[in-house]
Amino acid sequence: MSETVLVTGGTGYVGGWCIAELLKRGYRVRTTVRSLGKESQIRAAVAREVEADANLTVHAADLLNDTGWDDAMAGCDYVLHVASPLTGAASGDRYGLVAPARDGTLRVLKAATKAGVKRVVMTSAAATARQPLSRDVVSDETMWADPDDPQFDAYRVSKILAEKAAWEFVTAQDGAIEFTTIMPGAIFGPILSAETTGSVDIIGGLLKGQPKVLPKLGFWITDVRDLADIHIRAMTSPQAKNERFIATGDFLWMGDIAAALRHGLGRQATNVPTKSLPVLLTKLLIPFNSQLRTIAPLVGRRFRLSTDKIRKVLGYTPRPAADTIIDCARSLLDVRAAA
């Protein structure tokens, strides 16, 4: 009999890909949503990759409420905890997402422990290990970021504190449940539905010619397909038990991303910006531009990350970042054309 995996946040970008990959590999999959009205949306998204048949069931369970979690967890072998709030914090409130992210994660872990789940794999973020930009160090899984560091926005602060709370909970269980965290960078790649957020919106903006001039801002790229694969590897690998893994590929500046789009898409990239904004000029404009203020600490900065551990333990071999960017853009164009 095939094993059963619960994926939280089935309507999300990463959650959808995790569901699809699990189904391809013969697992029975459950996913949680706040409203069962989203079931058709999930099935349509997953169907772009694999038939979403009886091996996929959808359960109502909200990260902010205890209702439904015991039923969703009953009989599950593993949990991929992918869901995390992206929005909801008041402007300027860097701690506004901490409570829902932390409390939701603990709710999932408590229900999983009660149900006898073998292992929970949580989607964290590479930012949880990132050291202050003033330190010239290579960040790895032994390190923890300071949530009070101004380089982090509300989403990343919530990731840092939610993962810390999760490890504290798991440690207190004294071996009752296994736990692993996967720490991606900026997530790009093909989309499964028209609803997009986060990194993918950067590509959508560039295809429309926004911003008109490219800031000196860079990202460690994680392909969503690689990320789904590595969640599943971490779920079953004995060596991944109670470990953290940074999962990133190449580092690209915004100018590199724009160049990849123009090279890979040809005429379809006509609107992609070609001009870059010098670092000094960007910093001079920061006091007068609210969008620039949010990224001010990262302008012109390339922090360093180590992926030695995930490559050695889980055999992680990321796709070339340029391919990831082009595949992301092509899927966006396909969805727009079908709309």
Q: Are 328 and 203 spatial neighbours (Cβ–Cβ below 8 Å)?
A: yes
Residue among 24, 159, 208, 312 flagged as catalytic: 159
323 touches 224 (CB < 8 A): no
In angstroms, the CA 320 to CA 107 distance is: 36
Give CA–CA dist 217/222, Å, rounded.
Answer: 16
Closest CA to 228 of 3, 19, 49: 19
Distance CA 191, CA 252 (A): 20
Burial 91-122 (b: 16+ CB within 10 A, else e): eeebebbbbbbbebbbbbbbbbbebebebbbb
Residue labelled with tokens 């989203």: 38
Instruction: Round to whole Å and give the CA distance between 104 and 177.
Output: 17
Measure Cα distances from 61 to 14, 65, 295, 312 in Å: 18, 7, 34, 36
Is cis: bond before 211, omega within 30 of 0?
A: yes
Residue type, 50: V
Could you confirm whether 159 is annotated as catalytic? Answer: yes
Q: Which of 257, 301, 256 is nearest to 279 (CA)?
A: 301
CA-based nearest residue to 64, from 30, 97, 42, 112 = 97
Exposed/middle/buried for 235, CB within 10 Å: 0-12, 13-18, 19+? buried
Tell me the three state secondary structure of residue 199: helix
Q: Which amino acids are annotated catalytic?
A: 159
